[in-house]
Amino acid sequence: MILSSLRRPTAGVCGIIAAMAWLVLISLLHGFLNTEKTSGDKVLMGYMPVITNLAAPLVDAATRGSDVYFEALKFGSFSEMAEAFKAGHIQAAFIIAPLSIILHQQGVPLKVVYVGNRHESTFVIRGELQCNSPAGLAGKKVAVPLRHSGHFLAIKRCIRQYHIDPDRIDIVEIPPPDMPAALAAGFIDGYFVGEPFASVTLKTGLSRKLLDVEEIWPRFMCNILIVQEQMIQSHPVRVQKLVSAAVRSGFWARDHVEEAVDLACRYWAQDRGVAEFAFSNPPGRIQFDLYVPRLEEFEELLGEMRDAGLVHGDVDLARMLEDRFARAVRIEKVDRFERILEP
């Protein structure tokens, strides 16, 4: 019989087989335990440490230990964040608004689902500079975070409104964290940026305020939240949870400024006094309730970008906006941090 002709494996062979089976089991368990946490129930969000993106650290803190963890990854520049999003390394990004239009025009599959906190950008100049209005910027060098930023476009508005020769203002790009040092070194005469980076030099007296962005651009959109289009198709409930938490974190922060500052500074690695200064000068300046992406506002932004020569050709803005998640958020007082995660 065939069965009787088969040789039984030796003890050594059995030991080898058992060891191999154990290694396979350990490898499978290791892979399961790691991939479950990093891909199945974690969403990576890129952000810069600015007040318009306050939702990023708050949502990170609120969702630790939750069924889906939205992890906030801090970037040093918006350009780096854009590249990470394009490559699919992050699934969501709190990114500067004009850059979202550029990415969309490049064919990156994204959706704008939320608008960050508004009225949080400030134009500061060197304290000793003899300049009391934007008209005095002729012959000066000023910095913006990026050419594809609302701050660059806001300076272009200043140039038009104050009838300044555009060739007489030198606009340079500097990542927000490096702006205070550039001003201190005398490399620039001023900078236009989201808080708290303006307050870094305002608080020490190195700079003084030239204007708040809302003086020349009411309801100015600084940063918005984009998500990979595939995530909306595959995990719409997850996207809703992210947007709801982002919106509700703003409602909570509005009424709990000190607690919000404490939490944010742990993520930002920012001096608490600077952050407090940014939130309170003047009190109540920051708006947390204008979070729904609106086509007319993006059309206005696109018009400014065309005037500045940043965009050419057709742009289907309606295709990149998805407002249903923001509109679905229940508007109410959020009295406890834990309630940020309520639908």
- The domain tally of the chain equals 2
Q: In 284-332, which residue ranges form alpha helices assigned H by DSSP? A: 295-307, 317-320, 324-327
The mean pLDDT of 227-234, rounded to a whole number, is 98
Is it the case that residue 33 has pLDDT exceeding 70? Answer: no
In this predicted model, what pLDDT tens digit does every residue of 4-16 receive, in sequence order?
333 344 444 444 4
> Are 281 and 257 found together in one domain?
yes
Query: Does the N-terminal peptide bond of residue 236 adopt cis geometry, omega within 30 degrees of 0?
Result: no
- The closest of 336, 342, 322 to 115, measured between CA atoms, is 322
Give first-to-last CA distance, the chain, whole Å. 69
pLDDT at 58 over 80: yes
Half-sphere exposure of 3 (CA within 13 A, CB side): 0
Assess whether 56 and 166 both reside in one domain.
no
State the average pLDDT over residues 30-51: 67
Q: Which residue bears the tokens 């494996």?
A: 9
Residue 105 sits in the same domain as residue 228:
yes
State the amino acid at position 144 in one-letter form: V
Residue scoring higher pLDDT (237 or 270): 237
Tens of pLDDT, residues 151-200: 999 999 999 999 999 999 999 999 999 999 999 999 999 999 999 999 99
What is the average per-residue pLDDT within 125-134?
A: 93
Task: Tell me the pLDDT tens digit for each residue of 287-314.
Answer: 999 999 999 999 999 999 999 999 999 9
Task: Name the pLDDT band for 343 (thresholds 50, 70, 90).
Answer: confident
Model pLDDT, residue 342: 86
Would you say 241 and 35 are in contact if contact means Cβ atoms under 8 Å apart? no
CATH code assigned at 163: 3.40.190.10
Rounded Cα distance, 294 and 151, in Å: 20
In this prediction, residue 255 carries a pLDDT of: 93
Q: Is 231 in the same domain as 158?
A: no
CB 149 within 8 A of CB 310: no
Residues 84 and 129 placed together within one structural domain of the fold: no
Mean pLDDT, the chain, as a whole number? 89
Residue 275's domain comprises 39-118+222-341
Please report the pLDDT score of residue 40 as a whole number: 47
For residue 28, what pLDDT is reported? 39
291 contact partners, CB below 8 Å, separation of at least 6: 114, 115, 116, 246, 247, 250, 326, 329
**Residues 6+ away with beta carbon under 8 Å from 166:** 156, 159
